[in-house]
Amino acid sequence: MAAILELRGVSKHYPAHRAVHEVSLEVETGAFYSILGPSGCGKTTTLRLIAGFEDPDHGEILLDGRPLQNIPPFERPVNTVFQRYALFPHLTVQGNVEFGLKRRGVDHRAKVAEALEMVHLTGKEQRMPAQLSGGEQQRVALARSLVLEPRVLLLDEPLSALDPALRKSVRAELKTLQRRTGITFVFITHDQEEALSLSDRIAVMNKGEVEQIGSPQDIYLRPATPFVATFLGDVNWIDAATTLGVRPEATSIGRQAPEVAAARVESGRVRNSVFLGHCFHVETETSRGRIVAEAAHAYTPGEAVFVWWNAADEMRFHA
Amino acid sequence: MHRLRAWFLAPARLVNLVCFVLPLCIVLAYSLLSRGVYGGVELPWTFDNYRRLFDPLYAGIFLRSLWIAGLSTALCLVLGSPLAWFTARADRKRRNLYLNLVMIPFWTSFLVRTYAWMFLLRDTGLINTALMSVGLISEPLPLLYNNGAVMLGLVYGYLPFLVLPLYTSLEKIDPSMLEAASDLGAKPSTAFWTVVVPMAKPGMRAGSILVFISCIGTYLTPDLLGGSKTIMIGNVVQNQFTAARDWPFGAACSLVLMGLVMLFLRSDEL
């Protein structure tokens, strides 16, 4: 499939810091593309560059192969769902959703109804944003953008303002919406679980630069850098120089040494066990340092144990 | 709980009673009495004072007051809105500086500032002298003692009353509102009319009310800058209580003025 959106060596530097540095990425048509990274990594600036709220210092942003340079936000066929939704407080739900259509001079009644139905807000047309719950406001923000059928929908941490209980259900809805509409989503998040569960592709950013681009499995199982490995999950570092690591869920633990052939084995003592609901994480002290293993039951602190893992599960990095 | 509330409200109630309700009753009583020979009021009770207000002379003054106050308020809106917007959008440090600049005129008495305008505007004032000395005009321009001078004085004096509440409204508009509008396809000018103006309405309303009410009741500005030609209700009221020694009519005028202001406030709520 062709790339709908392409960033080529895009940089945005501020006097105090490099917000975005030499970022290049390609988003395929119809993809759910996530930009993942800790706060301050430049992901929001990247989104603002695509939306047109900021201009890059270097590099090019292409939409459908055409450079977006000098095209103001109001002429870009790209829409944004803002982190705090940025709904117009003086307009009703209807008013918010038809705002963009009115600017285009499009006949909007049917489209607004359709968009509101899509986000399950039918019947709340005349409510004011302040009368809606956080989840409902978020869906208005979605409808307001989706109704314009953008080439690319940009979502700036849209789930972060929701309470955790709601987050998972909205996450599923988001994915469904994306499939139904076929619109390309560029999703900004700092939550690796969100990115892994939703995305077709993920770009991991750190300190303004892209560390790795790949499928969720790629970046989780085959992280390109120690940063990506630790950002996406827990890592047992087998050596001090962080060139060799293994994930706790790939690490087994037992009182006897394993009889599996391909296993790397270390002996050690249990420090403590942490109950996580679906399993225990048992922290052990070995000659290689601290190693955490996943176990079905708890171990007593001080117990002598063996931990082991398959060579295939090891993550290697260049020093 | 209720007793506590009563105690807390008591001082305000007392002040309100002594300083507003009682004087208002006195003014109402005066307005229904007859004029005393050397000022003051006498019996019998009468409605004549209110009837006199329909005299074209006074009706005209009421209309002129409404017109001058209305136009001054509109001018304040036109001049004050860009200023308030500019201030609200400036960065935090600058904002305080600009707000202080808006407030600086308050450091000097309104009376003194109005006199200063007289010095600028009169026939031998700074403006006319300067224009004549460079030869742009041969006769002094009639800058003082007309409606224009009064409006200038009012706009000058009450502009901050519009800027401050409007600023408060505008400052609350999150920059992301404008980005959202732009994102949804609104040009900056469209975003201004569809997002900024509606969101700034409470501030515009509050500022306009403050300016309009201050303007319609004023007597100092028309007295000094309007001379004998531009008389407003405030001047009529003042005159009746001083030179004309017609307290009942003055009382009637001020009550009608108050009625007008209340009507204006109510019409705004609708």
Tell me how far CA of residue B208 lies from CA of B72, B81, B169, B233, in angstroms. Answer: 10, 11, 13, 19
Locate B22 and state its tokens.
């009682």
Task: Count Cβ atoms below 10 Å from residue B183 Cβ, excluding itself.
Answer: 28
> Is A74 in contact with B195 (Cβ distance < 8 A)?
no
CA A118 to CA A143: how far, in whole Å? 8
B175 CB within 8 Å of a chain A CB = no
**In this complex, do B185 and A104 lie within 8 Å of one another by their Cβ atoms?**
yes
ipTM score assigned to the predicted complex: 0.83
Sole residue written with tokens 């171990």 = A299
How does strand A304-310 pair with strand A263-275? antiparallel
pLDDT given for residue A262 in this prediction: 63
Please tell me the predicted confidence (pLDDT) of residue A127: 93
Q: What is the mean pLDDT of residues B2-15?
A: 89
Per-residue tens of pLDDT for chain A, all 319 residues: 578 999 999 999 988 888 999 999 999 999 999 999 998 899 999 999 999 999 999 999 999 989 998 899 999 999 999 988 999 999 999 999 999 998 888 877 888 898 998 888 888 889 999 999 888 898 999 999 999 999 999 999 988 878 888 888 888 888 998 998 899 999 999 999 999 999 999 999 999 999 999 999 999 988 999 999 999 988 988 877 778 889 998 998 988 888 777 678 888 999 999 998 889 999 999 888 889 999 998 899 998 999 998 888 888 887 6
CB contacts, 8 Å: A74 with chain B: 181-187
**DSSP run (H or E) holding B238:** helix B233-241
Average confidence (pLDDT) over B94-122: 86
Token pair recorded at residue A303: 């117990």
Contact call for residues B146 and A52 (beta carbons, < 8 A): no
Per-residue model confidence (pLDDT) at position B269: 59
- Give the pLDDT confidence score for residue B120 in this predicted structure: 85
| pLDDT for B183 beyond 90 | yes
Q: Which domains does chain B have, with CATH numbers?
A: 63-269 (1.10.3720.10)
The answer, for B34 touching chain A at a CB cutoff of 8 Å, is: no
- Among candidates A53, A72, A148 on the partner chain, residue whose Cβ is nearest the Cβ of B184: A148
The answer to whether residue B190 neighbours chain A at the CB level (below 8 Å) is yes
Alpha-carbon radius of gyration of chain B = 23
Quote the pLDDT of residue B268: 61
What pLDDT is stored for residue A293 in this prediction?
92
Confidence of residue B1 (pLDDT cuts 50, 70, 90): low
pLDDT of residue B109: 85
DSSP state of B223: I
Question: Where is average pLDDT lowest: B151-160, B194-203, B225-234, B261-270?
Answer: B261-270
How far is the C-alpha of A118 from the C-alpha of A147, rounded, in Å?
A: 10
Are B179 and A72 in contact (CB < 8 Å)? no
**B233, B126 Cβ separation under 8 angstroms:** no
Q: What is the model's pLDDT at position A209?
A: 92
Q: With contacts defined as CB-CB under 8 Å, which chain B residues touch A51?
A: 179, 183
- Average pLDDT, rounded, for chain B: 85
A316 vs B7: CA distance, rounded Å: 76
What is the reported pLDDT for B229?
Answer: 73
Q: Which chain A positions have a beta carbon within 8 Å of B176's beta carbon?
A: 82, 84, 86
Q: Does B184 touch chain A (CB under 8 A)?
A: yes
| CB spacing of A73 vs B179 below 8 angstroms | yes
| B173, B183, B197: best to mutate for the A interface, most A CBs within 10 A | B183
Report, as an integer, the average pLDDT of B84-102.
Answer: 88
**HEC assignment per residue over chain A:** CCEEEEEEEEEEECCCCEEEEEEEEEEECCCEEEEECCCCCCHHHHHHHHHCCCCCCEEEEEECCEECCCCCHHHCCEEEECCCCCCCCCCCHHHHHHHHHHHHCCCCHHHHHHHHHHCCCCCCCCCCHHHCCHHHHHHHHHHHHHCCCCCEEEEECCCCCCCHHHHHHHHHHHHHHHHHHCCEEEEEECCHHHHHHHCCEEEEEECCEEEEEECHHHHHHCCCCHHHHHHHCCCEECCCCCCEEECHHHCEEECCCCCCCCEEEEEEEEEEEEECCCCEEEEEEECCEEEEEEECCCCCCCCEEEEEEEHHHCEECCC
Amino acid, single-letter form, for residue B157: G
A99: which chain B residues are within 8 Å (Cβ-Cβ)?
Answer: 181, 184, 186, 194
Give the pLDDT of residue A81.
93
Express each pLDDT in B48-75 by its tens digit. 778 888 888 888 888 888 888 889 999 9
Contacts of residue B88, Cβ cutoff 8 Å, sequence gap at least 6? B95, B167, B170, B171, B173
Q: Which of B179, B185, B201 is nearest residue A103 as measured by Cβ atoms? A: B185
Of the pLDDT bands very low, low, confident and very high (cuts 50, 70, 90), residue B12 is very high
The pLDDT of residue B105 is 83
Cβ–Cβ gap A53/B179 under 8 Å: yes
pLDDT tens sequence across B141-156: 777 788 788 888 889 9
